[in-house]
Structure 1
Amino acid sequence: MSMKLYVNNQNFIAGMTLKNGAELENNNMALHVCENSNHVVENRKLLAAFLKCGLDAFICANQTHSANFQRVTAADSGRGAKQQDTAIANTDALYTYEPHLLLCSFSADCVPVIFYNEFEGLIGVIHSGWQGTVKEITLKLFEHLKHTEHCQLNNLHVQIGAALSQEKFEVDEDVYMKFKQLGYADDFMYYNEQTNKYHIDNQQTVKKQCELAGIPPEQITIDRTCTYLHPNGFSYRQDKQTGRHLSFIMRKK
């Protein structure tokens, strides 16, 4: 099973699967973009075996580049694990306080966000492509956790996973303006006069959203691996017919 682990301690395990030519469909983990759904399920079974859980621990969403999030519980166990139509609809972030649930987020250039709170047992995943970033899904979820769930955000640890680098995230003025209108992304953008394109650092913009919510910068880690440039990366921008990484977190107890 090809992956990188970001966290593995007595309470939490979190990581991101990687593209691997030796696996079925290059270790694609997404049912919505596959040649054969059985291949994806087999890949997920390998991950489950490594994590010492069953597929019924997986909770997946049908991601739509929204700013929608959902609290999940054991009642949601297995949703989207073996077939797409049972996944949580129209949702791009999941969180829970319950153990033994594997929260899943799929990406191929978009920014995956994984978070946990040691003291409260809270875990979560966020899928933030550029549309999710300009809709401020990360900031909105953390504000919800603060005000509705009464979560102490200064105790949160955040891992921002591998994504499209600023060098390769090349956009026209319409997308640039959406980021500019956020009011805090200017430091994470530049203009290339040769190509008349703007380059945006989506990971740093998401990190800024975490900081604006009240998460201490030293508790935010970024994996700067570029999904376009790295051979283990799935990149939608490079190849529209591509698989997806699975970013995940589970509370062990």
Structure 2
Amino acid sequence: MEPFQEVTSEQDGQPVLFYIESWMNSFPNLTAGFTSRLGGVSEKPFASFNCGLHVNDLSDLVVTNRQRLAETLEMPFDAFTYAEQVHGNEIAVITREDQGKGRASRADAIQSRDGFVTNEKELVLCALFADCVPLFFYDPVLEVAGLAHAGWKGTVLDVAGKTVQAMMVQFGSKPEHIRAAIGPSIGICCYEVDEKVAEPVEKVLTDMNAAPEIKQKVLQAKENQKYMLNLQELNRNFIVKAGILSSNIEVTELCTSCRTDLFFSHRRENGTTGRMAGWIAMRRNLQNKQNES
């Protein structure tokens, strides 16, 4: 079953969101999911629910979209926390002092980080995507949340494993307790890469002693000396390597490049497009919006 379930508000002008349904059903204090490109105020080529301040959209429109997300999730806008992502594997431990950074301006965003972990309640971790892989983590025992942005560079640098490690070191999480979800991103159906990308992918697969069938599932050679890359599957293997049980990992079937009716795609739209936001937050007495819709 697809873990990211679309929820459309009955109110005009509200964003279309994708919730991690099973998590939110199991853990009423949790909200986690992924925005679509629908239900915002941005104009072409960023129409309409662009959440990225770095793509030359009008900042006032982006902030309005971000405020709409906060309103839809029934959480205060000053709880939403953003970073300047750099396709790396550095992890930020988000404290109460970091709350709200980057929500309305890039100048005060958390700098040069692609993974985020926190045990703070009423604080929303956010990351931005338009083909790269969103990685969600939740430890329901100690109530620790994590979120990571994994492009191909961050993936081969094991941003997934680094995020899990930060949850373990900073908060004492045990891998066997952690849930992971891999969100909408470009799929192997659409992600053609050259040798520059394929070579480091092949190296990490060799380093992790991946079985031949796993290698074939992750990277498939083409006759034109290009390759089709399954970043979702590669991240899943890194998550397993970090100690998370396969039964605790959920993987989307949604491809951002195939579904530009729902999502922005950097690859499909030639680099001029908006960004979706992935979010995760813990709160007390959370009203489960997905059940109300």
Q: How far has the Cα of 1:200 moved from its partner? A: 0.8
Q: How far has the Cα of 1:189 moved from its partner? A: 1.0
Q: Distance in 1 between matches of 2:221 and 2:172?
A: 41
Q: How far has the Cα of 1:167 moved from its partner? A: 1.6
Q: Distance in 2 between matches of 1:116 and 1:23?
A: 31
Q: Which amino acid aligns with 1:106?
A: L
Q: Which residue of 1 aligns with 2:19?
A: 5
Aligned mate of 2:32, from 11, 14, 26: 14
Q: Which residue of 1 aligns with 2:139?
A: 117
Q: Which amino acid aligns with 2:19?
A: L
Q: Which residue of 2 aligns with 1:31?
A: 53
Q: Which residue of 2 aligns with 1:174?
A: 196
Is the Cα contact below 8 Å between 1:55 and 1:82 reproduced in 2? no
Q: How far has the Cα of 1:164 moved from its partner? A: 0.3
Which string of whole-angstrom CA distances, capped at 9 and with x for unpartnered residues, describes residues 111-163 of structure 1? Answer: 00011111101001100000101111111222333345431111111111100
Q: Distance in 1 between matches of 2:160 and 2:201?
A: 14
Q: How far has the Cα of 1:38 moved from its partner? A: 0.7
Q: Distance in 2 between matches of 1:180 and 1:147?
A: 29
Is the Cα contact below 8 Å between 1:69 and 1:141 reproduced in 2? yes
Q: Which residue of 1 aligns with 2:253?
A: 224
Q: Which amino acid aligns with 1:238?
A: R
Is the Cα contact below 8 Å between 2:40 and 2:65 reproduced in 1? no
Q: How far has the Cα of 1:22 moved from its partner? A: 6.1
Q: Distance in 1 between matches of 2:40 and 2:145?
A: 31
Q: How far has the Cα of 1:74 moved from its partner? A: 1.3
Is the Cα contact below 8 Å between 1:34 and 1:243 reproduced in 2? no
Q: Which amino acid aligns with 1:4?
A: F
Q: Which residue of 1 aligns with 2:7?
A: none
Is the Cα contact below 8 Å between 2:146 and 2:163 reproduced in 1? no
Q: Distance in 2 between matches of 1:52 and 1:145?
A: 26
Is the Cα contact below 8 Å between 2:85 and 2:112 reproduced in 1? yes
Q: Does the residue aligned with 2:107 lie in a helix, a strand or coil? A: helix
Q: Distance in 1 between matches of 2:34 and 2:169?
A: 29
Percent of aligned pairs sharing the same letter: 29
Which string of whole-angstrom CA distances, capped at 9 and with x for unpartnered residues, describes residues 174-219 of structure 1? Answer: 21110000023623111111x3210110001001111001100111
Q: Which residue of 2 aligns with 1:248?
A: 279
Q: Distance in 2 between matches of 1:67 and 1:22?
A: 31
> Where in structure 2 are the equivalents of 1:111-190 lying within 5 Å?
111-182=133-204, 183=206, 184=210, 186-187=215-216, 188-190=218-220
Q: Which residue of 1 aligns with 2:116?
A: 94
Aligned mate of 2:267, from 214, 219, 237: 237
User: Structure 2 length as normaliser, TM-score?
Assistant: 0.83
Q: Any gaps of 5 or more consecutive residues in structure 2? A: 1-14, 285-293
Q: Which residue of 1 aligns with 2:12?
A: none
User: Structure 1 length as normaliser, TM-score?
Assistant: 0.95
Q: Which residue of 2 aligns with 1:201?
A: 230
The structure-2 alpha-carbon separation of the partners of 1:56 and 1:22, relative to structure 1 and needing over 3 Å to count, comes to: closer
Is the Cα contact below 8 Å between 2:116 and 2:163 reproduced in 1? no
Is the Cα contact below 8 Å between 1:34 and 1:40 reproduced in 2? no
| Ranges of 4+ aligned residues in structure 1 off by more than 3 Å | none
Q: Which residue of 1 aligns with 2:291?
A: none
Q: Distance in 1 between matches of 2:102 and 2:172?
A: 29
Q: Does the residue aligned with 1:86 lie in a helix, a strand or coil? A: coil
Q: Distance in 2 between matches of 1:35 and 1:118?
A: 37
Aligned mate of 1:54, from 76, 79, 83: 76
Q: Any gaps of 5 or more consecutive residues in structure 1? A: none
Number of corresponding residues:
252
Q: Which residue of 1 aligns with 2:99?
A: 77
Q: Distance in 2 between matches of 1:210 and 1:63?
A: 20
Q: How far has the Cα of 1:23 moved from its partner? A: 4.1
